[in-house]
Amino acid sequence: MSAPDLKSRLIAAAHAMIRSGERGSLSLRAVARKAGVSEAAPYTWFKGKSELMAHVATLGFETLNIRLAASANEPDAIDTLCAMGRAYLDFAEAEPALYALMFSDDADLDRTLPRYQDASAACFERLSLAASRCAHAEPQSETGQKAALAAWSLVHGLAQLPLRRPTDAVSRADTAHWSMRALAEGLSRV
């Protein structure tokens, strides 16, 4: 097995453990066992558990960014932002444990890893472009940044709700679509 394959295999094993609810018992040794490699192998690639967790979270941000990019092809700015919001929520629903790790306050997540920082920033930048377009503003302008934060806050808050308390009266999809459309239309009037 080549060195990059071993690293990818360890990250995939950690992701599988997180996905199956084993985050609390996750250690470098446990990941090595899950990956079927020696217990010393992870120490070749990761300084510790927090760096491994950052690589798994990075994988999440990269996957989310791919989904956001795929949904960002609507001709209308409002429809684009709504589609991106839906893609964001679909990702959070499909990968709840990974999503929780990506945004956790856990000390076991090394946020200084450059690839982690780049991947999370890329997601925000993609959402920022769409929100700024709705607000008829440059992404780096004050209005553009406020629009991006409003969009991110809304979609992140909606994503958190089903993880903590499922909605009863209205479907999550309907709520998400209505909320994102209301925000996008509001931004278009700023």
CATH number for the domain harbouring residue 32: 1.10.10
Positive or negative: CA dihedral 19, 20, 23, 26: negative
Does 53 lie in the same domain as 135? yes
What is the rounded CA–CA span in Å between residue 98 and residue 83? 21
pTM over 0.85: yes
Does 160 lie in the same domain as 82? yes
Does 64 lie in the same domain as 19? no
Does 11 lie in the same domain as 57? no
- The token pair at 148 is 């991006």
Does 157 lie in the same domain as 105? yes
Does 83 lie in the same domain as 8? no
What is the rounded CA–CA span in Å between residue 146 and residue 150? 6
pLDDT for 123: 93
Does 169 lie in the same domain as 159? yes
In the chain, the number of structural domains is 2
Does 151 lie in the same domain as 60? yes
Structural domain for 5, as ranges: 1-46
Contact 144, 85 (CB under 8 A): no
Does 143 lie in the same domain as 64? yes
What is the rounded CA–CA span in Å between residue 106 and residue 158? 21
Contact 190, 143 (CB under 8 A): yes
Does 102 lie in the same domain as 80? yes
Return the ∠ at Cα 165 (arms to 159 and 168), rounded to 5°.
100
Average pLDDT of each block of 10 consecutive residues along the chain (190 residues)? 79 94 87 92 90 95 96 88 91 92 84 94 92 91 91 89 58 75 83
| Rounded (10°) CA dihedral 145, 81, 122, 43 | 120
Does 111 lie in the same domain as 18? no
Burial class (CB in 10 A: 0-12, 13-18, 19+), 27: middle
Three-state secondary-structure class, residue 29: helix
What is the rounded CA–CA span in Å between residue 36 and residue 5? 13
